[in-house]
Amino acid sequence: MPESIRVALDSGSVTALVYAAGAASRIDTTLILAHGAGASQSSDFMVAFAEGLARRGAHTVTFNFPYMEQGRRLPDRAETLEACFRAVVTAVRGRDDLAAGRLVIGGKSLGGRMASHVAAAGLADLAGLVFLGYPLHPPGKPEQLRARHLARISQPMLFVQGSRDAFGTPGELAPILEPLGRAARVHIVEDGDHSFAVPKRSPLSQSDVLGRAQDEIARWLRDPR
């Protein structure tokens, strides 16, 4: 079971969960993952990735944004989400067991986008970012790109993107990431949608699909350069 901690904000607090790394294949990294817009850190998706990456050797921390903690449906304003993310980073860095190694941040969809905003604004001693379905644009609105700030991120980035993602396919990401060179890598989830769900005709089971994505993230965390 993960350890539950409280993270203080300027107004109130949120819950974070610490999934301790397995001892067998320890990676010298703590990964902070934020949830997407519609489901909390307790969603099957978030738990699967937190548990899977902890088993693969990375301390993994998830947390709720304030609106989710309070049971509201609409996400907070971006500045509130970003401030919450920074507070979680501070809490993680305040723990000896989590602060000893490298720090990587990211998340699913909205959570990953907020991680990218925090990194673009400047975050000291950040080793990299992991995006689980980066929301490049709203579905059906490819002209509304959410990518200009990515060029201001100096750390390595790993994008795990479904080939059928309505929020942005790997093909749509490619011309945006190309100028970033080796700093940005993409792992394509074949036939995956925004949450990496694959159709029944897929030769792989859903658990295999998620496992392969987690394997790739673990490999990248060992050497994100």
Per-residue pLDDT of the chain (225 residues; tens, 9 = 90+): 899 999 999 989 999 999 999 877 889 999 999 999 999 999 999 999 999 999 999 999 999 999 999 999 999 999 999 999 999 999 999 999 999 899 999 999 999 999 999 999 999 999 999 999 999 999 999 999 999 999 999 999 999 999 999 999 999 999 999 999 989 999 999 999 999 999 988 888 899 999 999 999 999 999 887
Residue of 89, 109, 97 lying closest to 59 (CA atoms): 97
Q: Which residues face 31 on adjacent strands? A: 60, 104
pLDDT attached to residue 22:
83
String of DSSP letters for 103-164: EEEEEETHHHHHHHHHHHH--TTEEEEEEES---S-TT-TTS---GGGGG--S-EEEEEETT
pLDDT attached to residue 225:
75
The tokens 């509304």 sit on which residue?
Answer: 144
Cα 144 from Cα 170, distance rounded (Å): 16
Residues 28, 99 contacting (CB under 8 angstroms):
no
pLDDT attached to residue 25:
81
pLDDT attached to residue 100:
85
User: pTM value?
Assistant: 0.95
How high is the mean pLDDT of the chain?
Answer: 95
Report helix, strand or coil for 16.
strand
